[in-house]
Amino acid sequence: PSHPLIVHLADAEQLGDWVADVPATARLLAERFWPGPLTLVLRRGRRVPLETTGGLETVAVRVPAHPVALALLAAFGGGIAAPSANRFGSVSPTTAGHVRAELGDAVDVVLDGGPCQVGVESTIVDATGETLSILRPGGVTREDLETALGRPLAVPATSHIRVPGQHPSHYAPRARVVLVEPDKVIAEAERAQESGHRVGVLLPPAFADAEVKAHAVVALPASMPAYARELYAFLRELDQRGCDLIIASPPGEQGLGAAIANRLRRAAGPRPAA
């Protein structure tokens, strides 16, 4: 009841049906980055129910770039309020196989448009006023947004606006995630393995040639777009290989690294009590 959903639209021209007003800065970002992985938070229109917004007077909207998603939205003719196709708080799916593996017969149809091209979720921007801020880093980088706007964007540590994916523990695999500095990944993994854990390692590119005594090792790509695209698949793979602990290191906060680091920190967050 307190978790907002994103309303997906086929075209920016539909914005007026779902929001109370569209500030000039929000329209500029929509023109520049839609269709694409950018979500704008605006004041909700009267037809948007509070069940969609988690009780907030704001609504999150975006126009996805995938042709199958756009065709579905165009055929439907309205907005579709929906989360990622996974159980709440767990790792987001990036293939139809991930969806079926997690949801099973709970859904009748999985519409397969191929693997996700971006991987991490959309960037969420609070565009309710003249001072814009990033509420969740994602597929559109802070640098690209600032270039389009011609001014810096704030990235507040907290916000009165709740948005998807910002619970203390989110994007989490079954295995517990522990984050350390890049040069400590191997030592921490081997220490945990020796203490009886089945350790999975997300091995930074700088140590790709190193031998690691662990249950499973995934060598990370040097490319940030490739890392963002495969992050959730890597976490799912380590779960499937029976790991109970994952050792990783957040990348730098530049470009897509900010989105990857955000997802890893959430994955490593405190788990709710059973």
Binding residues for L-threonine, by number, are: 8, 62, 82, 122
Question: What distance in Å separates the CA atoms of residue 69 and residue 73, rounded to the nearest whole number?
Answer: 6
- Buried b vs exposed e over 170-190: b needs ≥16 C-beta within 10 Å? bbbbebbbbbeebeebbebbb
For 56, the token pair is 């907030």
Task: Look up residue 83 and give its amino acid.
Answer: P
Using DSSP, state whether 60 is helix, strand or coil. Answer: strand
8 Å CB contact between 75 and 24: no
Question: What distance in Å separates the CA atoms of residue 239 and residue 87, rounded to the nearest whole number?
Answer: 15
8 Å CB contact between 160 and 231: no
Annotated binding site: 8, 58, 62, 82, 84, 92, 122, 136, 171
H or E segment and range at residue 179: strand 176-179
H or E segment and range at residue 214: none
Annotated binding site for ATP: 58, 84, 92, 136, 171
Non-local (6+) Cβ contacts of 220 within 8 A are 202, 203, 204, 205, 208, 227, 234
